[in-house]
A and B are shown apart, each in its own frame.
Chain A
Amino acid sequence: MHEASIAESLIELAEKHLREGNHSAVSSVTVRIGRLSGVMPDALLFAFEALKGGTPLEGATLLIDVIPQGGMCKGCEKEFSFDGPYISECPLCGGAEFSVTRGRELEMTEMEVA
């Protein structure tokens, strides 16, 4: 639901990087959006298209890498992936001590500039 604010922040962040690097044009912006972040990629794309007009990102395409859920277990010391919004035990060993390491991303990663 807050994809409009996210798109707005993204455009401001990209503008800042453009200014700092003295770049004149940008053709694409790439972001990483985790499945646990609560941000819907389609809604973000829609908001970006609606808000980019009149900004230096007017001609830019938004590329979204959707990052699936993943974790790291302290018991078996292995990485694992999972589906759904939460997980209560390590799917590999059943251990309860693990951390969610992927899926919460909400970051910009790169830009294609001129």
Chain B
Amino acid sequence: MNIKVVSRILEANDRLAEDNRKIFRDSNVYVINLMSAPGAGKTTLLERTVSGLSGKKKIGVIEGDIATDSDAQRIAALGVPVVQINTGGACHLDANMIREALSGLPLKDMELLFIENVGNLVCPAEFDIGENEKVMILSVTEGDDKPLKYPLMFERASALVINKIDLLPFVDASVQKIREDSLRLNPGMRIFEASAKTGSGLQPWFEWLNQKGK
């Protein structure tokens, strides 16, 4: 007997993500899912962002990594509530992992929650975790061909931080091309150019974040 069962394969995850979204909304927490390839500078950008928004936004962080809690330690050193998720091999965070991590965070005392996804340019884009926005980082050392090679993530992210611009003199990447190709995939994308290491270019990013949840 043939039965029709048309349903999204990830429907269970989608449902849990909606539950998370409701929890965030009820607690008035605005959630950003931060995605990039390994080493593009997610944690460094978060360290800068915590200082840049201090006194303006109450921040919390969830760190997703395959293993280790070194990223969470870097964030905890700044006095911000943080929970580390170890996916034990999985290349992305899913809604259930976020749900379990929430018990470790003082949501009522937070306004902005950053979720640092596992370093990967493909998989995290497919999994809704209940965030308000997906933001991605592309570092110039990865090359300017990445938007067109990994279009899904660029399509789904509402903002892009082009990071490590301090290294532009040493690499062959064109920021112009990254901008053009990203906008071709996603015309509404907000694009920042920054160095999370030196701090340059971060002011517009802080201002953009400061408007969130208002």
Binding site for B on A (CB under 8 A): 1-2, 4-6, 9-10, 12-14, 17, 21, 23, 31, 36-39, 85-86, 88, 106-114
Contact = CB atoms under 8 A, between A and B. Distances in A.
- Judged by DSSP, the binding face of B is mixed
Given A1-B91, A38-B152, A112-B2, A31 B120 contact: no
Interface in B173-188: 184-185
Contacts, number: 86
8 contacts: A5-B127, A23-B3, A38-B122, A38-B152, A85-B149, A86-B148, A108-B5, A108-B8
Interface residues of B, number: 30
Secondary structure type dominating chain A contacts: mixed
Contact of B126 (A10, A31, A37, A110): A37
B94 interface: yes
Nearest to A112: B2
Nearest to A31: B9
Contacts of B90: 2, 4-5
A87 B209 CA distance: 31
